[in-house]
Amino acid sequence: MTATLPETTARATARPPRIALVGGTGAVGRTFLELIAQRGFAFESIRLVASPRSAGRTLPVPGGTAVVESLETCDFDGVDLAFFSAGTPLSAAHAPRAAAAGALVVDNTNAFRMDPASPLVVPQVNGDLLARRPESGIVANPNCSTIPLARLLKPIQERYGLDRVTVSTYQAASGGGQSGIDELRADTAARLADFSAPAPEDSKFGPGLAFNVVPAIDKLLEHGGTLEEQKMRQESRRILDLGSLDLTATCVRVPVVNGHSEAVVIDVQQEADVRELTTLLDAQEEVRVWREGWPTPRTAAAEPDLVHVGRVRTDPENPRRVLLWLVADNLRIGAALNALQIAEKAVAHGIVGGSR
């Protein structure tokens, strides 16, 4: 007779996952590697996968080094957990291939966020979706501005109900990856030397970002909005399971290296009390409410794994209108940390190959 271990014991004794990190040479990929080490995420091995031009490089990973493999020829056989952060077209082409080989894919692009077979997950909001393996084998990581917003909207929705959300974002150059950071720094240096210097050729930020703000992120759509703004509406509805949520976004790129900020106006269904609201938000996992002063990308950088909230108030002429300001590290909370927390829950639920 073969003894059957209790589920919790089986998980505790299972082999740690074998990881492939696609986009491991980029800003999000490097942040992800830092977080694996900082959070003590157990793994058996880590493979770095990137574009052919990066293949062959030897780079540090937690516990040693790894030789970068080309995504074009990468064989995902034997991979338990694959993180994709190399751009939407590459995810669309290769993430299903990794999933078909048996890996649970956590994808940090727009490729699968609206795919009914791929859950769109913020662990603090709808992590229960990770109790079973997705039909597609892929879990979608939301947009970098949607994640912190959804984490605050959830408790407000449960306590007061939501009628309408209006948000303006102030998004950092790092939202454009390492090349976005490099461009901002180079453009700033050029304009300090000559303020009339032209914008960089083929700028990621249109007219250039140094000493400027650009009120358009991602491609412009026929109705005049942008894809980034559409993502925030569609993704928030899906994460919160509120298919008709009235959410309007205006997304703006600002000359900040890292850290997205958002000004949020929330119309709720019941009168809100500021003290109760502040206590409610402060009680959320990994959220800090600033009762004095307010967070900025600089001040929030000291605690990069928290969603920072300040200027919590109600409209003096409308107690059903809540206003707040939030700041979050977009490379961590808005990308790598959320992806790793998805992986942590997936391992805990036993849906990752090495954990089964």
The residues annotated with a catalytic role in the active site are 144, 260
CA distance 301 to 181: 16
Do the strands 104-107 and 287-289 form a parallel or antiparallel pair, or are they unpaired?
unpaired
Token pair listed for 145? 């501005």
**Helix, strand, coil % (nearest 5) of the chain?**
35, 25, 40
Q: Quote the strand ranges of the chain, DSSP E.
A: 18-22, 45-50, 58-61, 64-67, 69-70, 81-84, 104-107, 138-140, 162-171, 246-253, 260-268, 287-289, 307-315, 318-328
Q: Quote the strand ranges of 210-317, DSSP E.
A: 246-253, 260-268, 287-289, 307-315
Of the CA atoms within 13 Å of residue 83, those in its CB half-sphere come to: 31
